[in-house]
Amino acid sequence: MKKKFIPLLIVGTALVAGCNQEKASDTGSTSTPAATTIDKADAVAIVNGQYIAKSTLAALEKEIAERSHGQSFPKEKLIEELIQRELLVQDAMQKQLDKSPELAAQLEAAKKALLTQADLQNFIKANPVTDAEVKAEYDSKIAAEKGTEFKASHILVKTEAEAKKLITELDKGADFAKLANKNSLDAKESQNGGDLGWFSSAQMVAPFSEAVASLEKGKYTKEPVKTQFGYHVILKEDSRALTPPPLEAVKEQLTPFLQRKKVQNMIETLRKQAKVEILVPLTDEQPKAEDVPAEQPAAEAPATPADEPAKTVEGEATPAAKPAEPVAEPAKAAEPTAEPAKAVEPVTPTPEAAPK
C-alpha cells in the first residue's frame, strides 16, 4: 500500500522534533545525534537506525488536535508522517544542506526564538501572579475608581440646520424617539429611538460627554452638539454613580495583565544591566537643502487640515452603542517574542499562564 503525506502536518510544523538518534547504522545515515538517546522500547519506529520517540508521536497528536480544533488522525498516518519527516531530514543531512549559510542562519534564528520562549516560560513559571497581587491591583485601579455613568439618547444628522430644525420640533412638543427613528443617521434602521444605553464620559468624544454632563435629567440640548460624526441633539435620561464590578468578574483580565507587567519589568531589568551598543543610525538622515538638485525641488509635505478631529476612544456616539463596561483592560505590555524563520517553524508551545 502506497503511503501518502498528510499536508496539514508536514507544512508549518517542527521537523522531527524529538526524533532521538543512536549511532548511525550501516546504511550511512548522517543524522545528527540528539541530546538524549532513547531505548527501543520508547520508540514508535526506526528509520535507517534512527529512533523516533513515543513522546514525539504524543507531541504531534497534541499539536494536530490544537491546530484542527479537536480533529484526530489515525495513528498509522501520524507515524507515517513522522517517518517521512525523518527521511527528509536524513536526506538533507546527507546532502549537507545544513551547512549552507542561508539554512544555518535560519536554524540559528529558530534556535533563538525557542530560547526566547523558553526563558519567558521559565520566568512565568517561577514568578506566578498571586491572588494577593490581583486583589491589590483591583483595589488600587478598579474598586477605587469613582465616576458617573449616563443614560442618554441622541439624534445624529449631517448638518447644523437639520439639528436646529429638530430642536424646534422638540420645543413644540414632538416625541424625541419618533424624531430619532425618522431622522437620526444611526436610528433609522435600528428604530431604537436613538437610545445609547449607559456609558461613561470616557467612552464618548469630549463634546458629546461635556454636553451630556451639563444637561439636567430629562432635558435635551438647545443647541446642536458638533462632533466629527455630525451634529447631535442629545436627551439626558438619567445618571448614576459608577459601580465597579466584583473582583471575580475581572480576575481573568487582571491576571494576564499582571503577568505581562512582570515580564516587562524583568526585560527592562535585563536591559539596564546589559552593555548595549547600537551601531546604526536610529533615524534616517534627510539630505541637506543644498544637496537637492535645482531641477528637482524637494516635494512639499501634504497639507494637514487644521480642524482634523482627534482620534476617539472606543464607544463614542455611534449607532446603538452598548452600555459602558465599568472597567477597561489595562494596556498590554510589549511581548518580546521573536518569530522563527519561515523555512523551519519550530513549535513554540505557550504555557497556560503565558501572556496572551
The answer on 356 and 250 residing in a single domain is yes
**Which regions in the chain score pLDDT beneath 50?**
1-35, 297-356
Over 262-319, what HEC string results? Answer: HHHHHHHHHHHHCCCCCCCCCCCCCCCHHHCCCCCCCCCCCCCCCCCCCCCCCCCCCC
The answer on 107 and 77 residing in a single domain is no
CATH number for the domain that contains residue 165: 3.10.50.40
Residue with cell 464620559: 201
> What integer pLDDT is reported at residue 287 of this predicted model?
62
The answer on 354 and 249 residing in a single domain is yes
What's the pLDDT tens digit per position in 261-306? 999 999 999 999 999 999 999 887 666 655 555 555 444 444 433 3
Rounded Cα–Cα distance for residues 328 and 203 (Å): 10
Rounded Cα–Cα distance for residues 79 and 59 (Å): 12
Within a domain: residue 193?
yes
Within a domain: residue 260?
yes
The answer on 248 and 126 residing in a single domain is yes
Within a domain: residue 33?
yes
Within a domain: residue 304?
no
Give me the helices (H) in the chain, please: 7-10, 54-67, 75-94, 101-126, 131-138, 160-171, 176-183, 206-214, 247-273
> What integer pLDDT is reported at residue 69 of this predicted model?
81
Quote the domain boundaries for residue 169.
Answer: 148-241
The answer on 22 and 87 residing in a single domain is yes
> What integer pLDDT is reported at residue 36 of this predicted model?
60
The answer on 166 and 33 residing in a single domain is no
Quote the DSSP letter at residue 220. Answer: B
Indicate the residue among 39, 72, 99 that finishes a domain. Answer: 99
Within a domain: residue 223?
yes
Within a domain: residue 300?
no
> How many domains are there within the chain?
3
- In this structure, the strands spanning 50-53 and 225-227 are unpaired
The answer on 106 and 95 residing in a single domain is no
The answer on 107 and 208 residing in a single domain is no
The answer on 26 and 79 residing in a single domain is yes
Within a domain: residue 285?
no
User: For the whole prediction, is pTM greater than 0.75?
Assistant: no
> What integer pLDDT is reported at residue 145 of this predicted model?
72
Indicate the residue among 63, 78, 99 that finishes a domain. Answer: 99
Sheet with strand 225-227: strands edge to edge: 195-200, 148-157, 230-241, 225-227
What's the pLDDT tens digit per position in 94-137? 999 989 999 999 999 999 999 999 999 999 999 999 999 999 99
The answer on 58 and 124 residing in a single domain is no
> What integer pLDDT is reported at residue 103 of this predicted model?
93
The answer on 319 and 174 residing in a single domain is no
Within a domain: residue 296?
no
- What distances in angstroms separate CA 21 from CA 17, 258, 287, one per listed residue? 11, 42, 58
Indicate the residue among 36, 64, 99 that finishes a domain. Answer: 99
Span between the terminal Cα atoms of the chain, in Å? 45
- Kindly state the greatest CA–CA separation across the chain: 100
Question: Would you tell me how many other CB atoms lie within 10 Å of the CB of residue 160?
Answer: 13
The answer on 261 and 233 residing in a single domain is no
CATH number for the domain that contains residue 39: 1.10.8.1040
